[in-house]
Amino acid sequence: MPADAFFMFPEADAMILAMSKTDQGLGDFYNLISPKIRDSKRLAQNASAEEIARYAPDLVLLKSSNFEGTANKLDQLGIVNFTMELESAEAWNSELLQLGKLLGKEERAQELVELYVKRNQMVRERIETLDHEKLPTVLVLQFSVVDGTTAFEVCPDSWIQTQMVETAGGVPVWTDSGLASNAWSKVSFEQIAAWNPDFIYIVSYKTPADKFLEAIYSDFTWKSLRSTQSRQIKAMPSDLVSFAQPDSRWILALQWMAANLHPALFPGFDMQSEVASFYRDFYHLEDHLIEELARSLQGGVNAPAMPLQCPCNAPAMPLQ
């Protein structure tokens, strides 16, 4: 998310900020970076250009999928704005550099890009050694619980989740299926069974994905799937929010997935230490804060979940 990108610049703390609410997971971690944020008022996610203009910002950051119209209006109002896409490794690199330019912090931006490239490279190098004919099939599946109904959804080919799978040395099963290109598409259990992937990674943006795992492994219909039988259905890692999205922590999801798909290539992979080093390098968080975050880490690691702050208490819906 643009906000994650922004906070990687240490000077962010000193700037005057207005941010929109986070409606995912357990909230965002910006409070840990800057106590000021905790007390500041949050904008609505769909705030209009006018509303934003009230704050007389020097710079407005927007996520492309939502706010193209708003960006145009801000242009008309003469407010500097930057629409970030952040849907691929390349996008993170180039857009971070641009953000650095806008903030006048090109050096830091360069530093960040190199940090990303390093982690990405580390994965790629090892994956390249594999025989590309024999890569495992992977499904990234969102469990979305709305209106009391549970739906399975897959993401468009162009999104970062798809790219993650490919980089991590897997074959995404849902590409080229004629699905929507700009939103999650519902698929039926039948379709999942027809794909019958080797690995399934569950993503859930509002309710902790772990809760669904219990239901899946005890459900009669899921038992016949290959990935159920080999216990390769896992929850994508998340702490406060899921890492499997255009969030700065996408790189952690990538690393984790690669290590999970090809454990032989990543001996000694320790998710907790990777997460800790991430927060240190990218956000300069202090150790005690990193420990707090670690406690809420779920998915990739069997850490007991202890929510930091819980603005939401979405009950987990069992599979019916």
Assess 206 for contact with another protein (CB under 8 A). yes
- SS3 at position 159: coil
Assess 180 for contact with another protein (CB under 8 A). yes
Span from 56-64, 67-75, 187-195, 243-251 in contact with another protein (CB under 8 A): 187-195
The binder of another protein chosen from 38, 193, 280, 287 (CB under 8 A): 193
36: tokens are: 């000021």
What number of chain residues touch another protein (CB under 8 A)?
Answer: 37
Contact set for another protein, span 126-145 (CB under 8 A):
144-145
Binding mask 25-64 vs another protein (x if CB under 8 A, - otherwise)? Answer: --------------------x-------------------
Q: What angle do CA 241, 113, 16 make, to 5 degrees?
A: 60
Span from 11-19, 112-120, 128-136, 191-199 in contact with another protein (CB under 8 A): 191-199
Span from 179-187, 236-244, 277-285, 299-307 in contact with another protein (CB under 8 A): 179-187
Asked if 141 and 209 count as a contact pair (C-beta separation under 8 A), the reply is no
Assess 77 for contact with another protein (CB under 8 A). no
The binder of another protein chosen from 18, 191, 210, 265 (CB under 8 A): 191
The binder of another protein chosen from 10, 11, 23, 114 (CB under 8 A): 23
* Identity of the amino acid at 91: A
Which residue, 148 or 268, is less far from another protein as judged by CB? 148
Q: For the chain, first and last CA: distance in Å?
A: 33
The binder of another protein chosen from 76, 107, 190, 304 (CB under 8 A): 190
Assess 165 for contact with another protein (CB under 8 A). no
C-alpha of 157 from chain center? 16
The binder of another protein chosen from 16, 77, 80, 194 (CB under 8 A): 194
Assess 188 for contact with another protein (CB under 8 A). yes
Assess 76 for contact with another protein (CB under 8 A). no
Assess 98 for contact with another protein (CB under 8 A). no
The burial class, CB within 10 Å (0-12 / 13-18 / 19+), for 74 is buried
- Which residues lie below 8 Å from residue 308, measured CB to CB, with a gap of 6+? 26, 27, 29, 240, 292, 293, 295, 296
Distance in angstroms (rounded) separating the CA atoms of residues 155 and 181: 8
User: CA–CA distance from 25 to each of 56, 205, 224 (Å)?
Assistant: 30, 6, 31
Contact set for another protein, span 210-269 (CB under 8 A):
220-221, 224-225
227: tokens are: 């990935």
- SS3 at position 124: helix
Q: Could you tell me which residues are beta bridge partners of residue 141?
A: 202
Q: Could you tell me which residues are beta bridge partners of residue 238?
A: 242, 298
Q: At its nearest, how many Å lie between another protein and the CB of residue 237?
A: 20
Phi, psi angle pair for 264, to nearest 5°: -65, -30
Assess 312 for contact with another protein (CB under 8 A). yes
Distance in angstroms (rounded) separating the CA atoms of residues 167 and 45: 31
Site of interaction with another protein (CB under 8 A): 23-24, 45, 144-151, 154, 174, 177-180, 185-191, 193-194, 206, 220-221, 224-225, 311-312, 314-315, 317, 320
